[in-house]
Amino acid sequence: MSAYVSVPGLDISLDAGVLTLCLARPEKRNAMDDTMMYAAIDAVDLAGRDEAVRAILLTSAGEHFCSGFDFVARNQEGGRPRAGSIQRRLPSQAHRLVPLLCSVQVPVVCAVRGWAAGIGLNLALAADFTVAANDARFWAPFVDRGFTPDSGSTWLLPRRVGEVRAREMILLGRVVDGTEAAAWRMIHRAVSAAEVDAVADELVGTLAESATVAAGLAKWLLYVGATSPLDEQLRNEAFAMELSSRSDDFREGLKAFQEKRSPEYGGR
């Protein structure tokens, strides 16, 4: 499979096992619109079935990662939507993209500079690893703007930073910089702005060379384990072990251990 199609505002490419989704609307601080959202959903959904994809990189052009969803543009196009449009639309947009990123069986790395607000914040939270600039800004602006959180904020934030800090961000609108986000364990690592791309590229490259089947199933176990009772999770682990032990990468890992060398995984 290689049917990844870029759209205005979102550049999509696949190279050396890494599927890159680059938000490319810098004049709008990479605010997402409907076209970008649907293209991102299609790309991540396809990546889950594409054996050529071994890792996903979320990145951006310009000074900012993503300032949220472009509600202004939507309301200007064709006039104000009729009542209930948000409730009807969200399940097929942000409320589909975030679970896909959490559950797709390849690791996801996110590189953040500047603002990550609204859906931008939640993309960073949904990634397995987020590398951010020390001066990046993470913001849940919902209540500050008079509406309630969406795209998984109230599920992701408490699990990342705990309920007290989640309340600070959601109810008080506290902006957290990259350094503090790393200290809170909201993200994987904070570095200088000049280092973000290099560190994220190195990380996603390492993940793309890992045992893809085992990594994907381990990610799935962590995701479902957040809401599974112990007995169910033990069954999930046995299922994942059965599948991973049948992979070529398992045999390569075992052979490399016996031969006292580093494994060379092929992703199968």
Any idea what the CATH number is for the domain that residue 146 is in?
A: 3.90.226.10
pLDDT of residue 234: 96
Top-ranked range on mean pLDDT: pick from 63-72, 138-147, 159-168, 246-255: 159-168
- Tell me the average pLDDT across 107-120: 97
107 and 226 co-located in one domain: no
219 and 86 co-located in one domain: no
Structural domain includes residue 94: yes
Instruction: For residue 237, give its domain range.
Output: 212-258
Asked whether the beta carbons of 177 and 116 are under 8 A apart, the reply is no
pTM: 0.90
131 and 147 co-located in one domain: yes
Structural domain includes residue 58: yes
* Residues 133-156: tens digit of each pLDDT: 999 999 998 888 888 888 899 999
Q: What is the four-CA torsion angle of 1, 93, 91, 79, rounded to 10 degrees?
A: -140
* Span of 60-69, 73-82, 225-234 with lowest mean pLDDT: 73-82
pLDDT of residue 250: 93
Confidence of residue 87 (pLDDT cuts 50, 70, 90): low
91 and 154 co-located in one domain: yes
91 and 193 co-located in one domain: yes
* Residues 174-224: tens digit of each pLDDT: 999 999 999 999 999 999 999 999 999 999 999 999 999 999 999 999 999
Confidence of residue 83 (pLDDT cuts 50, 70, 90): low
138 and 250 co-located in one domain: no
Asked whether the beta carbons of 248 and 256 are under 8 A apart, the reply is no
Report the DSSP pairing between strands 176-177 and 137-139. Answer: antiparallel
125 and 227 co-located in one domain: no
Confidence of residue 1 (pLDDT cuts 50, 70, 90): very low
122 and 240 co-located in one domain: no
Take residue 151 and report the two structure tokens written for it: 């795209």
150 and 239 co-located in one domain: no
The sign of the CA dihedral 56, 104, 2, 67 is negative
- Domain count along the chain: 2
Take residue 222 and report the two structure tokens written for it: 């962590």
- Tell me the average pLDDT across 222-250: 94
Higher-scoring residue by pLDDT: 88, 239: 239
Cross-strand bridge partners of residue 23: 10, 60
Structural domain includes residue 3: no
17 and 85 co-located in one domain: yes
Q: Distances from the Cα of 120 to the Cαs of 59, 135, 148, in angstroms? A: 11, 16, 16
Structural domain includes residue 254: yes
